[in-house]
Every structure is written in C-alpha cells, then in structure tokens.
Amino acid sequence: MLGVPVRFPGEAPNLPPAAQQPDWPDRAALHAATAELASLPGLVAAAESDALRDRLARVARGEAVLLQSGDCAESLDGATPERVGGKFGLLGRMAAVLTEGSGLPVVQLGRIAGQYAKPRSSPLETLDGVTLPVYRGDLVNGCDFTARDRTPDPSRLIRAYGAASATLGMLRELTARHGTELWTSHEALVLEYERGLTRTTPAGTYDLSAHLVWIGERTRALDGAHIDFAAGIRNPVAVKLGPTTTPDEALALVDRLDPERRPGRLTFITRMGAEAVRDVLPDLVAKVTADGAEVVWVCDPMHGNTFTAPSGHKTRHYDTVIDEVRGFFEVHRALGTHPGGIHAELTAEDVTECLGGSCAISPDEVPDRYESTCDPRLNACQALDLAHELAARYVRHLDGA
C-alpha cells in the first residue's frame, strides 16, 4: 500500500485528538485530494532524511551548528526562481558568516518547500460584523477576507505539492551548482497533507514531504495526534518548546519521540521569549542532559517576542530577538551543553516587518513593506546582523571569553 491510511476526526474510536485542523466542508473533495497525494511520488528521498539525521547528530555532539530559517508562511505563488534564489542566497551568506565565526560546519535547513500551514489562536475572524474562517495558510485557504477565499479548499493540498516540488527542483539545481547542502523542513500541522505524503519503505516509514518536520508549540500535546504522527516516522523531527514546558514534559517527549536515543533524531526548538529564557531553559536542558539523551538544542528567538506595533501590525524588535539569543547562549555555556543553533523567520526581500537592526527600521516604517501573511520576518539586513551576532557568540567561546 502507498501511504498511511488517512484518519479523520470522529471516524474511528481511540484516535488521539488532532488540534488545529481545518474544518474542510467538502469531505469528498478531501478524500479525493488525499488519495491523489498518496499516489504521487515523495518530494524527498528517505535516504536524504537519513543523511540529515546524520548531520544533526553532529550538531547534537557539538561538532556543527544548525541554521534553520525561512518564511513564517510560504505562499503557493512564491515558487519562482527569483524568490527561491533569494532565499538560497541569503541562507548561504548567513551560513558563511556563521562558519567563519564558529569554525564549525553549518547545517542549512530551510523553512521551505512545504511551510504552507499555520496554527491560529482562533478558528474564526470577525471584521465589520462579518465572521469567516481564519486564514490557516495557503495549504488550506486564501488570505483575502472573502467567503470564497477563506473556505478550506482541499485542492490546495495538490497545489501545495506542486509548489513544493517546483521549489525543491530549484533548490536541487542551486545546491548542485554551488556545491552546497540544503535541507527542507516545515511544521507538520495539517495531518491530511503529512499522512498523504507518508510512505512505508523497506527502511521504515517516512514523511516524504520534507527532510525534517517539526511539531509546533500549539500541537505538541503528548497524547495528541501530532506527536503520535511524529513518533511513527523515521525522519529527524523537532518540537517547539514554549515557556510553559516543564522538564518532565521535555523528558516525556524524548521518551516518546526518541526511545532509542539516536543522536540527530530529535531537535528541541526553544522559543521562551527574552524575558523567560534565562529562568525556564536551564531546568529543561539539565533534565534532558542528565537523562543522557543527545538532542539538538536550537533557539527560536522570534515566537516568544511578538507584539503589536502602533500601526496594528504584528512585529518583533531586533534587540529583543538578540536578547533571547544571548540568554540561550548563557544558559548552554553555564551548563556546558552545546548551543546547537538558530531557528528564525526571515526573508531576502526588503521588508519592514521587524523593528531595529543596523537598517534601523522604525515603528513608522512598519506598514511600508509588510508582506508576510502571518508573522513578521527579519529582512536581509537584520538576518545578516543576526548571523554576525551568532558568529560572535561562538567566537567568544573559542577564545575562552
């Protein structure tokens, strides 16, 4: 059989509950789309996922650094040579800065070729007395505030496959031409898409939609469907850990997702917020380390530091982002563990979504070029600032400072 049977909420007893799933109105169209996904070739090869796990094992052992970044939400029409080339170029420039500073190889992992679905705080949105389903990412519906756009449309699962495939094709050409490695990742959120691209091979069961998938902060319940899904695939997987995570929860996630304790299998992406990172992170790292598990620890300094600008746009300040990065390094240096790297939302486009940085974006400028359909991203200037800041953290360590 190709694929794993698609399970729908309420169709079978004893299935773990799935949070954050779209309410697809056309079930027949959904079944047709998932059946089509199951008939298509995987987007990546299982052996490539294994190779990424090997690279991540080096990060877990402190021999390499992980740079994971890209859009908050990719758009289905973003699979153009200009856009993909821009993302590839920026990641490469950041990696070069980081390698130079850290003296360590950098594992480049894009939030790319599949980052099309978003968890939301509310299923509905009301504007001027009209209530519609919330935008859940291009995988599910459109962003415009019209009933037509906002109705979850299963044909988007197939369009997303096409956009991811086109993006991967361009990335394969670019990496071959430049002699580099780059891996793909996204949040495994919409389970119809992930299960539709999961294949059981002689080597085991893999989600062939990306090399690595992660489970988000809102869907990481231990008894939920997303962790259940991640436990069943052999890809390297990651989990976001927010400030309410307890050390016991972190250890339970290790037991569930990495029972064999294979370095590189599990990455924890911590997104505590600059205010909490120094208080909350030490106990998590200490508990997991005492257990002997070799996980990769990565800092997401974006998602705990979002606030609303005077213009009403969601934004983040570069200085706060850097403060969380510094806290992350302080905690790991104090415990003698490896600060494995960074997970960031950024773009090569010249946007004005985040404040500060050496380009000094001010609150007045935020509306000027705000193109993200979800969270604010660092622009190229701020992204390179971040790479230099990270490089400096690693250099100081090498110097013994």
Residues making contact with Mn ion (CB under 5 A) = 72, 375
Instruction: Report CA 286 to chain centroid distance, whole Å.
Output: 24
Asked if 217 is part of the footprint of ligand PEP (rule: CB under 6 A), the reply reads: yes
By CB neighbour count within 10 A (0-12 exposed, 13-18 middle, 19+ buried), where does 393 fall?
buried
* Measured CA distances, 300 to 80, 269, 325 (Å): 27, 6, 8
Report the nearest approach of ligand PEP to the CB of residue 300 (Å).
Answer: 6
217 binds, among Mn ion, ligand PEP, none (CB under 5 to 8 A by kind): ligand PEP
Q: Which position among 72, 174, 281, 322 is part of the footprint of ligand PEP (CB under 6 A)?
A: 72
Strands (E), 248-333: 266-270, 296-299, 307-308, 314-315
117 binds ligand PEP (CB under 6 A): no
* CA 181 vs CA 72, 95, 116, 164, 265: distances in Å: 22, 11, 22, 18, 19
Number of residues that bind ligand PEP (CB under 6 A): 10
Strand partners, 314: 308
Residue 318: CB minimum distance to ligand PEP, A:
18
Out of 101, 152, 216, 301, which residue is the one contacting ligand PEP (CB under 6 A)? 216
Residues with Cβ within 8 Å of residue 156, at least 6 apart in sequence? 76, 138, 139, 140, 141
Among 271, 303, 311, 268, which Cα is nearest to 378's? 303
Q: Within its chain, how far is the Cα of 38 from the centroid?
A: 23
Among ligand PEP, Mn ion, none, partner that 287 touches (CB below 5 to 8 angstroms by kind): none
Nearer to ligand PEP, 83 or 118 (CB): 118
**Taking CB under 6 A as the rule, which mask of x and - marks residues 262-301 in contact with ligand PEP?**
---------x------------------------------
List the interface residues with ligand PEP, window 128-167 (CB under 6 A).
Answer: none
Interface mask toward ligand PEP for 339-378; x: CB under 6 A? ------------------------------------x---
Q: In which element (H, E) is residue 58 found?
A: helix 46-60
Residue ranges binding ligand PEP (CB under 6 A) = 72, 119, 187, 216-218, 240, 271, 303, 375
